[in-house]
A = this chain, B = another copy of it.
């Protein structure tokens, strides 16, 4: 159930309730957020923590690490879009960024 594609309404409700996240159209619709950090090392450390959480849940985001920023993109390949697993992991990502 967690891996079924969410309705457009459910995605919009998530976006309205979670500042910073946007939907991103690519191969499939995805949830994306860019986080800023004080230094480069902090961005790397954050990416590693997200990586651990991803591995634990067996659901892996795209991570784009730049200069003091990390962009996290969640999507469910099998469903071809955004699922409840993605919104769950987006919230987890926000927790890790705090």
The count of identical subunits is: 2
Q: Tell me which of A2-10, A12-20, A44-52 binds B.
A: A44-52
How far is it, in angstroms, between the C-alpha of A63 and the C-alpha of B43 when the chains are bound?
A: 11
How far is it, in angstroms, between the C-alpha of A63 and the C-alpha of B48 when the chains are bound?
A: 13
Give the size category of A's interface with B. Answer: 10 to 19
Kindly state whether residue A67 has any CB partner on chain B within 8 Å.
yes
Kindly state whether residue A37 has any CB partner on chain B within 8 Å.
no
- Give the chain B neighbours of A48 by CB distance below 8 A: 44, 48
A40 touches B55 (CB 8 A): yes
Contacts of A49-82 to chain B: CB distance below 8 A: 51, 54-55, 60, 62-67
Kindly state whether residue A41 has any CB partner on chain B within 8 Å.
yes
A65 touches B62 (CB 8 A): yes
Contact of A44 among B40, B51, B66 (CB under 8 A): B51
What is A's interface to B at a CB cutoff of 8 Å? Answer: 40-41, 44, 47-48, 51, 54-55, 60, 62-67
